[in-house]
Structure 1
């Protein structure tokens, strides 16, 4: 929670006790006062994004506070990171959690954040592709063969630790555009669709979940991959005024009308009421969705 950043262990521990199957973190470095691109089609950025923990700090704390839940990123903005450092950080989370990491990667949406980390906005797709190359190589081999890419290079080297999950942790990719869908079809284990719930909103599971996954699976088959091996994990973004009933409706309709069975709820807009209120909503959601 943005106002209770020291409560990650408490939230993670009790979420697991309540029956949660996974815990997720996002990735933000700044929220521009006058953004070049606002969030979700608006011209502003919600105040809840003003302060977020480093995702690797949050995941490491959650890993040590829990024993069972999967630990995911939705999404890490991979182009911000030198791939070797990203490989090390993700492998470290997988090691300390004893193999519970789900690596969700994307290209981000804020040009201001790319400016802040010194990475050209126009290079985001190419950098993500090179990052995926490096992760695949670094996680699978020892010694690691030399890499000479457009943006990064390193010599043949011993690079560890390796992830517990072999040959690598599952990698899910954002897939909101045709380019990103093709990337996911070629290289991912699945995609990360997202929907928002707020009073008066309409949720169409076919349009928002089933069809994007179907498109990626068709592309994967064209690439010679097994389409059935690709899945989706749905993120639900409830607005501050959303009800538990609305969130549960999305969960149940996704379960009943698609083959997606992994869903998580982003509680960022509940931070003004604190961790205990977020845990209460989680408990009621789990009880109603069972």
Structure 2
């Protein structure tokens, strides 16, 4: 299953999102994805990707819920994914309602992916605590799952509390949408093995199609799943392909072929740094889909 990131950041935030989504699906895209950036710190204490700066493109960002809802209304079959929502920024009741609404509007095409982010400034902007964010993610997922699967619902955690309440609009997907988690750290990978339905892996092109690294990370997931009494084979893997500026499309084609040849059949491509207008982005979509078919 090959998909693509929606135009959402930087100059792409002004692109024709609805035309991109509908045309990409017509060309054969099987999934469409959004990310989650709240703000770009002018003087970050932690930079992006282990650096000390935040990319210029993150200074402009379409709201991911709005972007995916737009895509839902102009498509009929493509799965609609978050890679990833920084879950601890959001109260669980509001988050579950927004995600449920997208699943209902799209008739069951939601693929919710969650993570913990990396920017202390974004956490402060969201009014959320940066400390113990992994534990916050676990508690939030417990609360969201309760909201998705029980009625009336109640929840009493360390941070989140839901009084007994009727929340009768449930997702189309039953018993709930699959929960994907993005992670590369040992703790995050073990969390996937314990509780997630899927792993959102990441590679970079050019030069970072490390099948050995993906396999090592996947082994951590599988070991944790077995320790929790789960079947590792039931945990899906979906690979995000981040394309660096000035990368030729041939390099992305080669990366996708390498993934496919090594059993990674589900992927999506983010062309943020190589396309800025809708027509160019769709040219990439058409060519990459032709290679993948």
Shift of 1:71: 0.2
- Unaligned residue ranges in structure 1 (runs of 5+): none
* Aligned with residue 158 of structure 1, among 146, 151, 166: 166
Shift of 1:6: 5.5
Shift of 1:189: 0.5
TM-score by length of structure 1 reads 0.94
Shift of 1:270: 3.0
Deviation digits for residues 240-285 of structure 1, max 9, x if unmatched? 211111111111111111x3211000122135x3111111111111
Other-structure match for 1:204? 210
- Supply the distance in 1 between the matched residues of 2:155 and 2:292 (Cα, whole angstroms): 47
- Supply the distance in 2 between the matched residues of 1:31 and 1:175 (Cα, whole angstroms): 21
- Supply the distance in 1 between the matched residues of 2:113 and 2:66 (Cα, whole angstroms): 16
Q: Secondary structure at the match of 1:255?
A: helix
Q: Does 1:261 align with 2:265?
A: yes
* Aligned with residue 234 of structure 2, among 229, 242, 245: 229
Deviation digits for residues 92-123 of structure 1, max 9, x if unmatched? 11000000000100000111101111111103
Shift of 1:29: 0.7
TM-score by length of structure 2 reads 0.93
Deviation digits for residues 129-178 of structure 1, max 9, x if unmatched? 1111011111011111x211111112111113100000111111012111
- Supply the distance in 1 between the matched residues of 2:219 and 2:186 (Cα, whole angstroms): 13
Residues 39/138 of structure 1: CA separation in 2 closer, same or farther (3 Å cut): same
Larger relative contact order, structure 1 or 2 (CA cutoff 8 Å, min sep 6): 2
Q: Secondary structure at the match of 1:237?
A: strand
Q: What is the number of residues matched between the two proteins?
A: 284
- Supply the distance in 2 between the matched residues of 1:202 and 1:188 (Cα, whole angstroms): 25
Q: Does 1:16 align with 2:25?
A: yes
Other-structure match for 2:4? none
- Supply the distance in 2 between the matched residues of 1:73 and 1:226 (Cα, whole angstroms): 24
Question: Does the CA-based 8 Å contact 2:111-2:177 persist in structure 1?
Answer: yes
Question: Does the CA-based 8 Å contact 1:171-1:188 persist in structure 2?
Answer: yes
Question: Does the CA-based 8 Å contact 2:44-2:52 persist in structure 1?
Answer: yes
- Supply the distance in 1 between the matched residues of 2:169 and 2:208 (Cα, whole angstroms): 45
- Unaligned residue ranges in structure 2 (runs of 5+): 1-6
Question: Does the CA-based 8 Å contact 1:231-1:260 persist in structure 2?
Answer: no
Question: Does the CA-based 8 Å contact 1:236-1:263 persist in structure 2?
Answer: yes
Other-structure match for 1:139? 148
Shift of 1:52: 1.2
* Aligned with residue 220 of structure 1, among 225, 231, 236: 225
- Supply the distance in 1 between the matched residues of 2:223 and 2:258 (Cα, whole angstroms): 23
Q: Does 1:187 align with 2:207?
A: no
CA RMSD, Structure 1 to Structure 2 (Å): 1.3
Q: Mean alpha-carbon deviation: is it higher for 274-283 or for 91-100?
A: 274-283
